[in-house]
Amino acid sequence: MKVLVINAGSSSLKYQLMDPETGKVFAKGLCERIGLDGKFTYKPQVEGKETIKAADVAMPTHSEAIQTVLNALVDPQNGVISSMKEIDAVGHRVVHGGETFASSVLINDEVLKAVEDCTPLAPLHNPANIIGIEACRKALGDDVPQVAVFDTAFHQTMPEHAYLYSIPYKYYENDKLRRYGFHGTSHRYVTLRAAELLGKDPKDLKIVSCHLGNGSSLAAVDGGKCVDTSMGLTPLAGLPMGTRAGDMDVGVIEYVVNKYDRSISSVMEGLNKRSGMMGLSGVSSDFRDLEAAAAKGHHRSAIALRIFEYRVHKMIAEYAAAMNGVDVVIFTAGVGENAPSTRAHILEGLEFMGITCDEEKNNTRGEERIISKDGAPVTVMVIPTNEELMIAQDTLSIVEENKNK
């Protein structure tokens, strides 16, 4: 089976064509600056086929972007399939499913309407996801099944005491304001993969999953189910990130609005796009740049990294407490997979919980590996995330399930 995985952003679209049963990727790439001066990248993973990088591609909307992707996939010279009929299904990453969706679903008009109803909870993301779905429908026709895989779905197992905010209850009743969490597809993939690598049943493990990148979140996964996560109603909550502030006293917003005569919207934009590592360091949102600057004695870069590491360090202990224990700690995503020093600093001092870091084992980037000391009571692992494979596997499962109905 060949599944086209689509991750549509407001002005971008990532894609992969893959076999969910083997994990084989046939082609992948990216459409950027949709609606502007479109940029297109196509990377066939088949011998003898050439990578295409093109600028100024006419992509005024996501419909043209999808068509550009399909044209590349069937291109006589560098394509990896002979016709669009070889695409058996499409799996879409959808950011917000609210309380409506606790698992992936086959897309129909009713599902699309429910995704649209969640737009107030994710105004930047859900509209782009809907456009991507409709563009695929238009290009491939209604006969090709499409599946929605939600970032929020994995976290729908959280208990009330973990997801409710301590604000007047009417805001939950009327507006569904609560903690939802994101990165769910990544957290689900790495926790299942950890269990597989350890030869354990997920139901027998208490796992703290650390998805650390430009966007970062932790999840407490007890017996295969999420019981807490650090992002909230929006991805702004939790850890400080590349450009996001993370958790803070909301009184800061009122102070800045009043003193500097700013609108709430402009302050929120700053908290999302000019805070976190960028705001603290004044150098960059990229952790690699901060490490380089800190090595040259740049104090603000060093303290930005320290704040990030300190917050992750504390949260690992917090989530172990939420589960009354921990068996496995996982590092994943760009920083989690590729920053040995950051991992070491985060883990330092957690030995009292049985959490250790072996210096030699930790000297690894981008590969599956146990980095805790031999015989340690808690297994610490690096597991590269693969959200696309998780989306493709969900798509296969949902399509097969609906075939049998």
> What residues contact residue 369 under an 8 Å CB cut-off, 6+ apart?
361, 381, 382
Active site residue 151: yes
Of residues 353, 287, 280, 281, the one with CA closest to residue 314: 353
Q: What is the CA radius of gyration of the chain?
A: 22
C-alpha span between 9 and 32 (Å, rounded): 9
Token representation of residue 151? 């970032």
- The secondary structure of 329-361 as a DSSP string is EEEEHHHHHH-HHHHHHHHTT-GGGT----TTT
Pairing assessment for the beta strands 206-211 and 146-150 based on DSSP bridges: unpaired
Q: Are strands 3-8 and 328-332 parallel, antiparallel or unpaired?
A: unpaired
The answer to whether residues 218 and 208 touch, using CB atoms and an 8 Å cutoff, is yes
Secondary structure, 3-state, 383-402: CCCCHHHHHHHHHHHHHHHH
Residue of 37, 151, 228, 286 marked catalytic: 151
d(CA 304, CA 315): 17
Q: Which residues are catalytic?
A: 151
